[in-house]
Structure formats: structure tokens, C-alpha cells
A and B are shown apart, each in its own frame.
Chain A
């Protein structure tokens, strides 16, 4: 393909679209950041790992410690992937954590109280997530209600339903291990050398890979970005905006239900009290990962890096013996820095 050949109609180089590339090193750098915003969190991640590695040495730089970080961020990473989809459409989902917990409770209660086979219990839990997400999506797409309000309400409804249904009762880990080990499926591990991968970690990595493919390589993925960018323009271009929005919220709900399943594997038991901060933590990972809250920009890979950055800071500072509040303080700084970078990149592009 010959990119820069002059046009043949003789009107010279000054046709309507005389596309000029950016000049200079700084502009080039801005161009790279603009094209792949996930690079910023990746660099922050590498630098953070390097710094904690220098400070902590062998205690940090072991396959065990590094894979421990992955295990600790697996649940939030999965939820944050769901959150990424919603935020790419310029929405937000505050109900992700609640959907995760209700789904896990349904998996447990349906298996233990209703006596369903574990596989069917899990299926019902996944269906619960899908339905909760679909309802939010329907309200956002057809009733044009603000996503913030819809999911704020959904958060309260689902969380209350969770406590009402479960009676705040915990299903104990050893009971699950004895009677329905399938519920703890994502807690199983594979060891390679000193590295320990839970199935939950593998689920996270596979999920990120699949979503990356779908978002960049399929028409549906392009439509998600277009809807987040400018829904009016997407509509006029022939994109089914409502269908896209509903499918995004429904898929996010389903992914949260998978997170609920993985949560049982992580903590062993089914607990209605678990994961209360998942919605805020998932938004944190998304923002640090460079996805624009205004929609249409960013990638799920960035979200993975964002979740890992939080994990690296949490473990690194704990190993250093710092007060846990330092972790929150630093993450707060990172959030504001990430949004600043996002704004700068977008302004540089205009």
C-alpha cells in the first residue's frame, strides 16, 4: 500500500485531506500515548514493581509473592473488566459488587437449601447476574435514565435482596468442600515452580484476553466504543445503540456473577458480607487503567494493569510494614494523576 503518493487528478498536494503526521519527539510521544493509553498504567506498574523490588529484594521478587498479587487482584480484576465495558459506553455501574455477592449467595443457597445439583446452582447464579445487568441496561437504553442513578438504585435493591434472602448467613467452607466442591472451582491452583496460579487468576487473564479480542476485532466491540464516544453519531451511522447498551450491561452482570463464583473459591465460604467495596475498587482500577470516564477511550488491558498497580502497592506497602492508610493515600494520588493524564492526552489530540 502506497500511503503518501500524491493524488493523480493534478490538483496538487492541497486536497481536502492533506493529512500530516505529527512532528518532533514530544509530539511523537504524545501520539503514542494517545493511540494506546494503556501504556501509561503499564509503565507505572513496571516502575512500581521495580521500586518495591529494590526496597524489599527477595521478599518481593519471588514467583510466590508476584503471583500472590495476581491472586489478590483476581476478583477485583474480573469485576473491573465488567466495569470497563460499561464505562466505555460513557456509563457507570455501581451495582457490580452487589450483583457479584447476590450471585454467589444464590449459587450457595440454591445448592444447599434447595438441594439443586451444584452445576445447576451455579447456572442459576450466573443467570441472576445476567438478569440484574439486563434490567439496568434496559432502563438505561430504553428509558434513557442516567446510568449512575439506575445502578445506584440497583445496588441498593440487589444488596438488600441479598441480605433478605440470605438472612446474613454464611455457608461454611468445609461444608462446601464436602458437598459441593464445584462452587470452589476457581480456588483450585496450579503451581509452576514457586508461582501459584488459582483458577480465578486464569479466569481473569482469559477474560481480559477475550474482551480485548472482542472489543478490537468485532463489530460489536467497535459499536461499544462508538456508543460511548457519541451515541447520536453512532445511531445515525446505523449502530443499534439500544441493543449495544443492553448487551453491555447484561454482559457486565454476567461477568460479575462469574466474579461471585470466583469469590467463593477465593474465600472458601459463601458470605453475604464479602466484597462490599468491589464497586469503588473496580472503578479505581478502571480509572488508573486509563479508561476515560467520558466513554469511548481505553482498553481492558489497561484495567488489568490498573488492578495490578493497586495490588502491587497494597502488598508492597504491607511487606514494608507501612500503615495501610498509606496505600489508600497513594491510590488516591494515582486516581487523580490518571485522570489528569487522560485529560492531557485528549487535549493534545485536538
Chain B
């Protein structure tokens, strides 16, 4: 394990009125790992992820990226520092093409007068890069990069969304329930894809409710409970039922250690 986490949080707290969604929460993501985040509904894991991806601003606490303190006013600011998030909704425009979607909000303009004065987009270049990024991740056999996203299956859409994040997420990729809406076969493909993104050196935060998926791909598992990190597990050292027991409070990390 590397000494310095690429992304870390200390003492994150977020209150909504009288409800404390995040209570002095810590988080550490190390280079090259897939870290799963599990937790019961309402445990505050999505609040934590939103804080890390810039969607909300914590009331207290500090986030560090590469050791440097950072604050994100919006997901766009987080994205500019190299943290890409794939939302459960995927955030894609269904009527636009794969290439359009991959470059939405960061289009490439043509060089020369057409680009400078007439602001013409370099569509050929964007198609080329989109195609390259998809094939790097084994998402090839695309006949038509101009196909609209709504003509793709759920798994294909997820694939394009992950490829978009991986293409631009230089530091961290956050995946929110990437397999929740998918069938068995498509889930398998997406899990393989997540592994390939990690192999390319981009660490991943994976939020999932699916224990078999988590235990299959994660290097470490962050267990979230009552608004904070309860413990961090290694998939090889605990069983799935232990993880669920920790998540729900049926067991505590201390009671687990001797058995493991």
C-alpha cells in the first residue's frame, strides 16, 4: 500500500436541519485501488460521496487531493481537478450521440480561423478520441460513434458513461451503483470494465449494494455506518455475511478481529 492516499477526507460533517448525515467522517483512497463503499440505506454514504464529488459542501472537515487541501463548490470544480463521477442517472443526453455525450461541456474546437472566429467544433477529432477511449477499454465493435445514446442498452450506456469518466478522470473515478439497473450478463461486463479502468492506474470509488460484486472487484471495502467510517475491510479476510453484519450493526469490528 502506498504511503500517501490520493484522496482523503478528515472529520467531514454535514447536517440537514436536525439530521446529521455525516458525523466526523474519514475516508482514504490509495493509488491504484478499487475501494468499495458499502452501508445501509440512510447511513450517509451518498452524502459522503457527494461531498467528495463536489455535489454538496460539507459543514466541517477537510478534503485533500494528493495531499493538498481542496474545496469543491460544484461537481464541475471537482471535475477540473481530475475527479470524475458516474452518477446513477448517468447524466447523458439520450438524443445526442456517443461522441457528443463524451465531450459534453468540454468540446474541442477546430484550430485555425474556423475554430477561432466561427467557433466550429472539431467533430472528427472528438469522434477519433471517443473511439480510441472506448476501444482502450475494450468497448469496441462500435459500428457508429454517432449513434444516439438512447439507442444503446443499459449496459452499453453504463459502459459509455464509465469510459467518459475514465477518459477525463485523471485522479479518481467515482461510480455510483453502476450495476444496479443491469442484468447479470451486463453487470459482468461492467465489472470487467471497472477492473480495466483500475489496471490503467486510475483509482476507483465504487458505491454498491451488491455484495458479490463488491467482493469480486474491490481491493478494500469502506463500511459506512451512522454517518461515519466504521472500518475498512479486505475482501479476502472477511465473509460477505460479516460485512453485512457490520453494516447493519449486528456485529462490531472488535468482535470480528479475533475470528479473522
Most chain B beta carbons < 10 A, residue from A19, A217, A232, A297: A19
Interface residue from B89, B120, B143 paired with A232 (Cβ < 8 Å):
B89
Contacts of B100 in A (CB 8 A): 222, 226
Q: How far is the CA of A220 from the CA of B193 in the complex (A)?
A: 32
Interface residue from A9, A217, A239 paired with B120 (Cβ < 8 Å):
A217
Q: Within residues 165 to 190 of chain B, which ones have a CB less than 8 A from any CB in chain A?
A: 186, 189-190
Contacts of A217 in B (CB 8 A): 118-121, 123
Which of A10-18, A155-163, A197-205 participates in binding chain B? A10-18
Q: What per-residue 1/0 map shows which CB atoms of A218-232 lie under 8 Å from chain B?
A: 111011011001101
Q: How far is the CA of A16 from the CA of B131 in the complex (A)?
A: 14
Contacts of A4 in B (CB 8 A): 141, 143
* B179 smallest CB distance to A (angstroms): 11
Q: How far is the CA of A1 from the CA of B107 in the complex (A)?
A: 21
Q: Given contacts A16-B155, A229-B93, A230-B93, is CB(A237)–CB(B138) below 8 Å?
A: no
Q: Are A238 and B141 in contact (CB under 8 A)?
A: no
Interface residue from A5, A7, A219, A349 paired with B151 (Cβ < 8 Å):
A349
Q: How far is the CA of A222 from the CA of B152 in the complex (A)?
A: 20
Q: Are B104 and A237 in contact (CB under 8 A)?
A: yes
Q: How far is the CA of A5 from the CA of B148 in the complex (A)?
A: 20
Q: Within residues 242 to 268 of chain A, which ones have a CB less than 8 A from any CB in chain B?
A: none
Within 8 Å of chain A (Cβ to Cβ): is B135? yes
Contacts of A226 in B (CB 8 A): 93, 96, 100, 104
Chain B residue with the shortest CB-CB distance to A20 = B143
Chain A residue with the shortest CB-CB distance to B75 = A236
Within 8 Å of chain B (Cβ to Cβ): is A350? yes
* A99 smallest CB distance to B (angstroms): 26
Most chain A beta carbons < 10 A, residue from B95, B131, B138: B95
Within 8 Å of chain B (Cβ to Cβ): is A296? yes
Q: Are A21 and B121 in contact (CB under 8 A)?
A: no
Q: How far is the CA of A222 from the CA of B151 in the complex (A)?
A: 19
Q: How far is the CA of A218 from the CA of B126 in the complex (A)?
A: 13
Which of B156-164, B213-221, B224-232, B246-254 participates in binding chain A? B156-164
Within 8 Å of chain A (Cβ to Cβ): is B144? yes
Contacts of A21 in B (CB 8 A): 143-144
Q: How far is the CA of A8 from the CA of B89 in the complex (A)?
A: 30
Q: Are A15 and B92 in contact (CB under 8 A)?
A: no
Within 8 Å of chain B (Cβ to Cβ): is A206? no
Interface residue from B90, B95, B123 paired with A225 (Cβ < 8 Å):
B95
Chain A residue with the shortest CB-CB distance to B156 = A17
Within 8 Å of chain A (Cβ to Cβ): is B14? no
Q: Are A15 and B121 in contact (CB under 8 A)?
A: no
Within 8 Å of chain A (Cβ to Cβ): is B222? no
Within 8 Å of chain B (Cβ to Cβ): is A113? no
Q: What per-residue 1/0 map shows which CB atoms of A178-220 lie under 8 Å from chain B?
A: 0000000000000000000000000000000000010001111
Interface residue from B89, B140, B151 paired with A15 (Cβ < 8 Å):
B140
Chain B residue with the shortest CB-CB distance to A240 = B105
Q: Are B139 and A238 in contact (CB under 8 A)?
A: no
Chain B residue with the shortest CB-CB distance to A239 = B105
Within 8 Å of chain B (Cβ to Cβ): is A119? no
Chain A residue with the shortest CB-CB distance to B147 = A19
Interface residue from B89, B104, B142, B158 paired with A3 (Cβ < 8 Å):
B142
Q: Are B89 and A5 in contact (CB under 8 A)?
A: no
Q: What per-residue 1/0 map shows which CB atoms of B24-40 lie under 8 Å from chain A?
A: 00000000000000000
Chain B residue with the shortest CB-CB distance to A238 = B105
Q: Are A219 and B119 in contact (CB under 8 A)?
A: yes
Would you list 15 pairs from A and B whose C-beta atoms are within 8 A, ordered by A residue?
A: A7-B141, A8-B140, A16-B156, A17-B141, A17-B156, A17-B160, A19-B143, A19-B144, A213-B118, A217-B118, A218-B120, A222-B96, A229-B95, A234-B93, A236-B91
Q: Identify the A interface with B (CB < 8 A).
A: 1, 3-9, 11, 13-21, 34, 213, 217-220, 222-223, 225-226, 229-230, 232-234, 236-239, 296-297, 349-350
Shortest Cβ-Cβ A-B pairs, 8 listed: A238-B105, A16-B159, A236-B91, A7-B140, A16-B189, A237-B104, A219-B107, A229-B93
Q: A34-B148, A217-B121, A222-B96 are in contact. List 17 more A-B contacts (CB 8 A).
A: A9-B138, A16-B156, A16-B190, A17-B139, A17-B160, A19-B141, A19-B147, A21-B144, A217-B123, A223-B105, A226-B93, A226-B96, A233-B92, A233-B93, A238-B105, A238-B106, A296-B93
Q: Identify the B interface with A (CB < 8 A).
A: 75-76, 79, 87, 89-96, 100-101, 104-107, 109, 118-121, 123, 128, 131, 134-135, 138-144, 147-148, 150-152, 155-156, 158-160, 186, 189-190, 192-193, 196
